[in-house]
Amino acid sequence: MTTQAQKAIPLPQVEARVPIPRQNLRVPGPTPVPQQVLDAQAAPLINHRGPEFSAIMKRVTPRLQYFFQTTSPVLTYPASGTGGQECALVNVFSPGDHVVAIIIGNFGTRLAKIATAFGLNVTKIEFAWGEAADPNVVESRLKEISDYRGVLITHNETSTGVTNDVKTLAEIVRRANPDALIVVDAVSSLSSLPLEMDPWDLDVVFTGSQKGWMIPPGIMMIAASERAWEAHKTSKLPRFYWDWSSTRKNLEASWQHPTTPPVSLFYALDEALEMMIAEGREEIFARHVKAGEYVRGRAQAMGLKLLSTDPRYASNTVTAIRTPAGIETKAILKKLREEDQIVLADGQDHMKGKMFRVGHLGYFTQTDLEQAMDAVETRLHELGYQA
């Protein structure tokens, strides 16, 4: 190894900045943010250990509990949704613990990967991309699997546009193994789709700010049942940043955090929760139902095929559409972005280039969806598509 001094790094030449464009952002996160929430971020910074910040947390926390439908404290971290996946696992399990991962797409796969990376023993119950977890299959598979400490479930699979029936799946798990910890990835569902943590007896639920919450990415929210807090006490996976105990202690002692929270994003969250409560939880759900039905209806009316195979499980936050034969996914996405300022998402993993996804969660109007689907129709035909 060298110990020689290196040369100084000169000032780099970079490309000039250009204004951020205003687009019809129809990816499944980051989602568009209302102007008043964007503006809320621009308030001056405050001390995260002062009373002004505590006042925000004191307002935001019970409102998050309301959207989670839990009496457990909702903890918040500076992180992405993937941070929620890691945080959920390292707080309740120990090396070698056996967990069952119910996988229906890319984010279910990721959760299982994290479990494996942390030394858990993972048994997978996998379904093809586009399918939901079939409750009957899960029930019979669980009978063959023994000694599992937890079951990992994706509520809404962002990569396929499929929503699992978490309520039914949780009932099945609870019957099969009353003490199992039910870990639910609700990143792209919570606040947009019905999910009731306590009534459904879920143990760990987490979500991300850039999805249904109408704010930019950067805050991860997570809550744990009494059963999960009990498991936390004896869980031996190494942790510090994600540790629930210190986060809960600071929240309960002073409505604060053990480390520095993303203050400006909490201004946004405070504002967005005000708007969400003004709209109403049921009304938000209804708006998402209508959006899902509209986007799927338009796609099918154009003769396009959805990835989701069963209408009962089609997601009301994101629709995955198979790219029709003869059309390049890249080409349609580029055309929409450059000519219509409409941004859709490509497929992920092995479905990259084979599908595109339309996000319809958080802050959107019916006009946004109409404009997007009109443009998809026009541009596909321009590229030679015939239904």
Nearest distance from C-beta of residue 300 to its own copies, angstroms = 25
Which residue, among 174, 186, 193, has the nearest Cα to 88 in the 3D structure? 186
What would the x/- binding string for its own copies be over residues 325 to 364, using CB under 8 A? Answer: ------------x-----x-xx------------------
| 25-33, 285-293, 302-310, 311-319 -> range binding its own copies (CB under 8 A) | 25-33
Using rule CB under 8 A, residue 248 touches its own copies: no
The answer to whether 95 and 116 have CB atoms below 8 angstroms apart is no
Residue 131 burial (10 A CB sphere; 0-12, 13-18, 19+): buried
Using rule CB under 8 A, residue 18 touches its own copies: yes
337 in a known ligand binding site: no
Q: What is the distance between the alpha carbons of residues 387 and 385, in angstroms, rounded to a whole number?
A: 7
Q: Which residues pair with 204 in a beta bridge?
A: 183, 224
For CA atoms 86, 307, 375, 381, give the dihedral sign. positive
For its own copies, the binding residues in 84-103 under the rule CB under 8 A are 85-86
Of the candidate residues 59, 141, 248, 322, the single one contacting its own copies (CB under 8 A): 59
| 111-119, 134-142, 303-311, 366-374 -> range binding its own copies (CB under 8 A) | 111-119
Of the candidate residues 96, 128, 137, 238, the single one contacting its own copies (CB under 8 A): 238
Q: Which amino acid appears at position 279 of this protein?
A: E
What is the end-to-end Cα distance of the chain in Å, rounded?
Answer: 63
Using rule CB under 8 A, residue 285 touches its own copies: no
Distance of CA 245 to the CA centre of its chain: 23
Using rule CB under 8 A, residue 292 touches its own copies: no
Nearest distance from C-beta of residue 128 to its own copies, angstroms = 24
Of the candidate residues 178, 233, 350, 367, the single one contacting its own copies (CB under 8 A): 178
| 133-141, 146-154, 213-221, 311-319 -> range binding its own copies (CB under 8 A) | 213-221
Q: How far is CA 335 from CA 23, 343, 370, 376, 377, in A?
A: 13, 10, 17, 9, 12
Which H or E run contains 98? strand 98-103
Q: Which amino acid appears at position 29 of this protein?
A: G
Using rule CB under 8 A, residue 73 touches its own copies: no
| 130-138, 192-200, 300-308, 367-375 -> range binding its own copies (CB under 8 A) | 192-200
Using rule CB under 8 A, residue 43 touches its own copies: yes
| 112-120, 136-144, 310-318, 319-327 -> range binding its own copies (CB under 8 A) | 112-120
Of the candidate residues 245, 259, 300, 366, the single one contacting its own copies (CB under 8 A): 259
290: three-class secondary structure by DSSP: helix
67: left (phi over 0), alpha (psi -120 to 50) or beta: alpha
